Chain A
Amino acid sequence: MTLYQGNRLRVDLTNHEVRRERTQPNGIGARSWNSATLLEELQPGIDPLGPDNILCIGVGPLTGSALIASCRFIASAKSPLTGYLGDSGARGFFAPELRWAGHDQIVFTGASDRWVYLFIDDNKVEIRDASHLVGLDITETTVRLQEDLDDRDLQVAAIGPAGENLVRYAIISCNLTRAAGRTGMGTVMGSKKLKAIVVRGTKPVEPVNPGRFTRACADFQTAIEGHREFESRRKYGTTRIMDSLSKIGVLPAFHYRSALFDELDKVKAEALRRDHVVKAKACYNCNVYCSRYNVTSFSEGEGPEYEAQAGFTVKCGSSDMEVGVAASNAVNRLGLDCISTAEVIAWLMECKAEGVISDADVDGIDLSWGSREALLKLPEMIAHREGVGDLLAEGSKRAAQSLGGGAAELTAEVKGLELFSADPRGIKGYGLMNAVNSRGGDHYRGEPTIELTGDEALAIKRVGNPNAAHRLKEEGKGALVNYAEHLGILSDSATLCKNISCCMDAFDFDLAAEAYSGLLGEDITSQQLWDACTEVGQIERDFNVREGLQPSDDTLPPRFRDRPIPDGPAKGTTIDIDRLVKDYYKEKGWD
């Protein structure tokens, strides 16, 4: 079945050659093509940091259209962190620009022997020398390229020192702080000696059936603006959830040792806004504009969002918001994934508290809970692989294996990918999502947010089971996670912001069918889109199984599997992850 066939650039970095071709005909955009490309072209068992890996950057037919927040690109490759399929999306303005330049996917093969960047000006595509950019952070790289090329409107996606130094969870960022953050896509870019991708695009995106497409856009906008979280998302972005996660007892304080944090008032959304926020910031064509620019006494920048906010405060036992903002700014500039970075630091602090490591192991850095020194120094040390930073740069799974002595029992990772800043035991749908999804410990594949709402009618509408609306129930969660994964794949292919499409449940397959149909001028049904997403999910599973994934890998770390939540509102809650996984397999039709 042909859905949409896009234009693809194939960039051979070994031979410095660029070829134009077409994508697979049966895709719906970004992630759908990327995952298929990797399954088709990657040899099993290859070194993710060698020239045999392939890095795909995808946008889709809806990217850069009038549809709200149609702003993401998806970067995909074999992950150097998990060894399985890696992919991650970034918002901002880069993806629309790539679409306006007329390119739907870039496939990078091989590896360059010297540092280069890719320059795209509509049809003109060149591989250029980047030796002058080596060592620069993401902000410096971006501004330098824009100034050198005499165009502050140029869109740049770049890696920082972390990507250059092959930290396994390095990011690709555009607009300075919009990161394709998870699974080390910036690391793969670094291994290919590709410092940046620079785009200027001027070709308009024009719907074939403007009336139908405009109606779909208007329906989407209405769904967003009528949403009960609309105003609070505008005001606080994702930082708004810290308080609610605290109230339901799933805060990861002191690296999951407690769900209680006495000084929450110092680090929650209201404090951040009161003390540091100077301005709201938006991604492309977004009426939610959930990002904010912060100024503190010793750093400034965009963010943090919830993960960096909680990761660099509560999770590490710190109530110093200024230090948290500084750490967030630092990882953005250095090119580190904020989730993995916060998790490895919090884990190291727990190793210290448990006596698994000594002062000598960590270059004398103060690793007591909330240590300002650790939060300010470790991101730099990780990005430059200095001292204990070299160990942490490997990710918590590998680092724990090196350390031995009980360090592994303290990690919070699945398939090598570090967990988010919440306790999976008290939000069972999220627990299951972390256990089974294609990229490892991660909540953002799709967001089973329905379980946080108590909205049984919505749960029945989406998955036919009212239990799915209750976070502490294990029934109905297989179906919920399956639905959330489908919506995640749809969003990653339509390149919509998942905070809107998934977290707000403001987008669904019916609306998507109207948007695709209106834009492309063909009748595309919601069932066709659902089936396309099912196929992408299966492709990703097949890829991972080919790389050696076993059913036993679909689980949570022992610390969550074997013990209840120790305190707080959800005290005593356990998670029967085996039961949840079985329910999910049944939903998928897997044995």
Chain B
Amino acid sequence: MCEVACSISHFGAVSPALSRIRVAKLEEIGIDVAIACVGCVEKPCLECSEDALTVGSSGQIVLDGSLCIGCEECAIRCPIGAVGYYRDEPLFCDLCDGAPSCVEVCPTDALVNDTASTPSLAPYMSSEGPAAQRRAHYARIVSQEVRDRWLAGWRLGE
């Protein structure tokens, strides 16, 4: 639902390819992790040869479309695959002017709009492969704790 909401709110149409948030699904171990820009400390995407990217007031990445040459380098640099790319233009989470549509629509309140924290993605900087693979890699690592809890007997309960 978050992908649908994001896609509609920016393009008026539905396709995950248009979404700035993507759900990595590791179905064989029951894991889903919704991944969008986390506003990381490293911000490797900013190493743009055309200086098309800057950081906005809420910490969001802002693209100057007039400077972008569509090289896809920023999307490739994101270690967790959180930069989308559609029809020659990168897609950055713009936080929907402070009220993200994905957060609004999430039926389980799994998403929060947290602009205060700036986590480090250092452990993932060496992630390789296409964006979907980097997202899957990230999901596998961040869900390890959850998996351990399940296997130790934790249950959702009443």
Name the B residues within 8 Å of A151 (CB-CB).
130, 132-133
B7 nearest CB neighbor, chain A only? A204
A201 contact from B15, B130, B157, Cβ within 8 A: B15
Is B43 interfacial (CB-CB < 8 Å)?
no
Name the A residues within 8 Å of B24 (CB-CB).
152-153
Is A285 interfacial (CB-CB < 8 Å)?
yes
Name the A residues within 8 Å of B108 (CB-CB).
280, 289
A205 and B13 form a contact (CB under 8 A): yes
Most chain B beta-carbon neighbours within 10 Å: one of A278, A280, A293: A278
A140 nearest CB neighbor, chain B only? B28
CB distance from A527 to the nearest CB of B (A): 28
A271-303 near B? 1/0 per residue, CB < 8 Å: 001111111111001110100110100001110
A288 nearest CB neighbor, chain B only? B107
CB distance from A72 to the nearest CB of B (A): 16
For B, the interface residue count at a CB cutoff of 8 angstroms equals 37
Name the B residues within 8 Å of A210 (CB-CB).
12
A278 and B14 form a contact (CB under 8 A): no
**Given contact pairs A65-B14, A176-B28, A287-B107, A277 touches B155 in the complex (Cβ within 8 A):** yes
Is A88 interfacial (CB-CB < 8 Å)?
no
Interface residues of A in 187-239 (CB under 8 A from B): 201-207, 210
A205 contact from B15, B22, B135, Cβ within 8 A: B15
Interface residues of B in 84-113 (CB under 8 A from A): 86, 107-108
B130 and A204 form a contact (CB under 8 A): no
Most chain A beta-carbon neighbours within 10 Å: one of B7, B15, B26, B136: B15
Name the B residues within 8 Å of A274 (CB-CB).
155, 157-158
A225 nearest CB neighbor, chain B only? B107
The count of A-to-B residue pairs whose CB atoms sit within 8 angstroms is: 107
Q: In the bound complex, what is the Cα–Cα distance between A280 and B12 (angstroms)?
A: 29
B27 and A175 form a contact (CB under 8 A): yes
Is B32 interfacial (CB-CB < 8 Å)?
yes
**Given contact pairs A152-B136, A293-B30, A273 touches B1 in the complex (Cβ within 8 A):** no
Interface residues of B in 135-158 (CB under 8 A from A): 135-136, 150-151, 154-158
A150 and B129 form a contact (CB under 8 A): yes
A290-325 near B? 1/0 per residue, CB < 8 Å: 001101000011100000000000000000000000
Q: In the bound complex, what is the Cα–Cα distance between A285 and B22 (angstroms)?
A: 13
Interface residues of B in 1-55 (CB under 8 A from A): 1, 4, 7-8, 11-18, 22, 24-30, 32
Give the size range of A's interface with the partner: 35 or more
Q: In the bound complex, what is the Cα–Cα distance between A281 and B158 (angstroms)?
A: 16
B30 and A285 form a contact (CB under 8 A): no
**Given contact pairs A150-B130, A151-B130, A204 touches B22 in the complex (Cβ within 8 A):** no
Interface residues of A in 497-556 (CB under 8 A from B): none
A175 nearest CB neighbor, chain B only? B27
A159-198 near B? 1/0 per residue, CB < 8 Å: 0000000000000000111000000000000000000000
Name the A residues within 8 Å of B150 (CB-CB).
278-279, 295, 300
Is A66 interfacial (CB-CB < 8 Å)?
yes
A289 and B14 form a contact (CB under 8 A): no
B107 nearest CB neighbor, chain A only? A287
**Given contact pairs A150-B133, A152-B133, A210-B12, A277 touches B28 in the complex (Cβ within 8 A):** no
CB distance from B38 to the nearest CB of A (A): 19
**Given contact pairs A202-B17, A287-B107, A293-B30, A278 touches B155 in the complex (Cβ within 8 A):** yes
A127-167 near B? 1/0 per residue, CB < 8 Å: 00000000000010011000000111110000000000000
A204 and B156 form a contact (CB under 8 A): no
B135 and A152 form a contact (CB under 8 A): yes
CB distance from B75 to the nearest CB of A (A): 14
Q: In the bound complex, what is the Cα–Cα distance between A177 and B130 (angstroms)?
A: 26
Most chain B beta-carbon neighbours within 10 Å: one of A93, A277, A293: A293
Q: In the bound complex, what is the Cα–Cα distance between A203 and B18 (angstroms)?
A: 9
A64 contact from B14, B30, B129, Cβ within 8 A: B14
**Given contact pairs A201-B15, A202-B15, A295-B151, A279 touches B27 in the complex (Cβ within 8 A):** no
Q: In the bound complex, what is the Cα–Cα distance between A143 and B133 (angstroms)?
A: 12
Is A584 interfacial (CB-CB < 8 Å)?
no
Is A73 interfacial (CB-CB < 8 Å)?
no
Name the B residues within 8 Å of A153 (CB-CB).
16, 22, 24-25, 132, 135
A142 and B27 form a contact (CB under 8 A): yes
A276 and B155 form a contact (CB under 8 A): yes
B133 and A206 form a contact (CB under 8 A): no
Name the B residues within 8 Å of A117 (CB-CB).
none
Name the B residues within 8 Å of A302 (CB-CB).
27, 30
Name the B residues within 8 Å of A142 (CB-CB).
27-28
A279 and B156 form a contact (CB under 8 A): yes
Name the A residues within 8 Å of B16 (CB-CB).
100, 153
Q: In the bound complex, what is the Cα–Cα distance between A276 and B32 (angstroms)?
A: 18
Q: In the bound complex, what is the Cα–Cα distance between A302 and B27 (angstroms)?
A: 9
Name the B residues within 8 Å of A275 (CB-CB).
155
B155 and A204 form a contact (CB under 8 A): no
Q: In the bound complex, what is the Cα–Cα distance between A281 and B32 (angstroms)?
A: 9
**Given contact pairs A100-B17, A152-B132, A286-B1, A273 touches B12 in the complex (Cβ within 8 A):** no
B157 and A273 form a contact (CB under 8 A): yes
CB distance from B156 to the nearest CB of A (A): 5
A45-80 near B? 1/0 per residue, CB < 8 Å: 000000000000000000011100000000000000
Name the B residues within 8 Å of A285 (CB-CB).
1, 4
Name the A residues within 8 Å of B29 (CB-CB).
300
Name the B residues within 8 Å of A139 (CB-CB).
27-28
Name the A residues within 8 Å of B129 (CB-CB).
150
Q: In the bound complex, what is the Cα–Cα distance between A281 and B150 (angstroms)?
A: 15
**Given contact pairs A66-B4, A206-B13, A279 touches B132 in the complex (Cβ within 8 A):** no
Q: In the bound complex, what is the Cα–Cα distance between A287 and B132 (angstroms)?
A: 24
Name the B residues within 8 Å of A143 (CB-CB).
28
Q: In the bound complex, what is the Cα–Cα distance between A287 and B104 (angstroms)?
A: 13
**Given contact pairs A279-B156, A287-B1, A289-B108, A204 touches B30 in the complex (Cβ within 8 A):** no
Q: In the bound complex, what is the Cα–Cα distance between A274 and B155 (angstroms)?
A: 7
| Sample (20) of A-B pairs whose CB atoms are under 8 Å apart | A64-B14, A100-B16, A139-B27, A152-B26, A152-B136, A153-B135, A154-B132, A176-B27, A206-B11, A206-B14, A273-B157, A273-B158, A278-B156, A280-B156, A281-B30, A282-B107, A285-B1, A287-B1, A295-B30, A302-B27
9 closest residue pairs by CB, A with B: A204-B13, A202-B17, A206-B13, A293-B30, A204-B15, A152-B136, A153-B132, A278-B150, A287-B107
Taking A150-B130, A152-B136, A206-B11 as given, write out 9 further A-B residue pairs in contact, using a Cβ cutoff of 8 Å, ordered by the A residue number: A151-B130, A176-B27, A176-B28, A202-B17, A204-B15, A204-B18, A277-B155, A282-B1, A289-B108
Residues of A within 8 A of B (CB): 64-66, 93, 100, 139, 142-143, 150-154, 175-177, 201-207, 210, 270, 273-282, 285-287, 289, 292-293, 295, 300-302
